[in-house]
Amino acid sequence: MKIYREKDYDAMSRRAAQIIAGEITHNPACALGLATGSTPEGAYKYLVDWYKQGLVSFRDVLSVNLDEYVGLAPDHDQSYRYFMQSNLFDHVDILPENTRVPDGLTKDPEAFCAEYDAYIRSLGYVNLQLLGIGRNGHIGFNEPGDHFVKETHVVDLTESTIDANARFFASRDDVPRQAISMGMGAIMGAKKVLLCASGEDKADAICRSVSGPITPECPGSILQLHKNVVLVADEAALSKLIAAGVEV
Ligand code: F6R
């Protein structure tokens, strides 16, 4: 795993955006696996800026998002489709028909999940998968458990994830209890994984994912089995790894 040690959130965001822009420059028709949340917001801002300056174009890019809350409509301001539109898609030249986010309102989740996986397989998996990480080590919404789940699936969010995401909702009760998430098959199928983390509250998850045992109790640890992972993290997120003596 290649590790970039950045001084703060802004430097992490800039580095992550450079890697994504590099992927697009190298392969303008690439497939990007995208994430939502606080972590990639800054990177998306850089990409929008660079698009406006004519430095990068999404015209031929395909995107597939990791996850979506069950029960939220695309125009709900906390849905991940809404997040992607407002943070990236509405500001760049990506074609709407080339963007995919799981459908939180699907009437047939099983069929939907199977189709989502079939689509990702039809791409030959994504060229680059962007990931944040939960405090509990989740990637996508693959929560800690006793086995890794391969397929896209409906997941019951853990109390820790509901707590972490309550900051975006009017109250904790408004946080959806379920999400549709890409499984480990689609994530690990990516040709390259770009894992980003910022802040002290991610230090434990990063340390366990990078240097702990490979276990579904820390879903991010599966990335140790992937041959092409780039971790971009700030000092705070790397602090436990550094304290554990891992060279970064
Ligand atoms: C988001 C996602 C999640 C987040 C994780 C960290 O699409 O799949 O795994 O990456 O919950 O969230 P933030 O970045 O808000 O700390």
The residue extents of the domains of the chain are 2-243
In the structure encoding, which two tokens stand for residue 173, read together? 């009760």
Query: What is the Cα–Cα distance from 139 to 34, expressed in whole angstroms?
Result: 12
Which CATH fold would you assign to the domain 2-243? Rossmann fold (3.40.50)
| Confidence at residue 185, expressed as pLDDT on a 0 to 100 scale | 98
Stretches in the chain below the pLDDT threshold 50: none
> Ligand 1 within 6 A of 132 CB?
yes
Confirm whether 27 is a catalytic residue: no
Query: What is the Cα–Cα distance from 62 to 86, expressed in whole angstroms?
Result: 17
Q: Which of 65, 68, 138, 142 is catalytic?
A: 138
* Helix orientation angle between 38-52 and 9-26, rounded to the nearest 10 degrees: 50
Instruction: Compute the CA torsion angle 43, 229, 124, 31 (nearest 10 deg).
Output: 10
> Ligand 1 within 6 A of 42 CB?
no
Q: What's the mean per-residue pLDDT of the chain?
A: 97
| Confidence at residue 236, expressed as pLDDT on a 0 to 100 scale | 98
Question: What is the full DSSP assignment across 138-204?
Answer: -BTTB-S-SS---S-EEEEPPHHHHHHHGGGSSSGGGS-SEEEE--HHHHHHSSEEEEEE-SGGGHH
| Confidence at residue 139, expressed as pLDDT on a 0 to 100 scale | 98
Q: 65-85, pLDDT tens digit by residue?
A: 999 999 999 999 999 999 999
Question: What SS3 state is found at 77?
Answer: coil
Query: What is the Cα–Cα distance from 183 to 155, expressed in whole angstroms?
Result: 10
Confirm whether 136 is a catalytic residue: yes
> Ligand 1 within 6 A of 199 CB?
no
| Confidence at residue 107, expressed as pLDDT on a 0 to 100 scale | 97
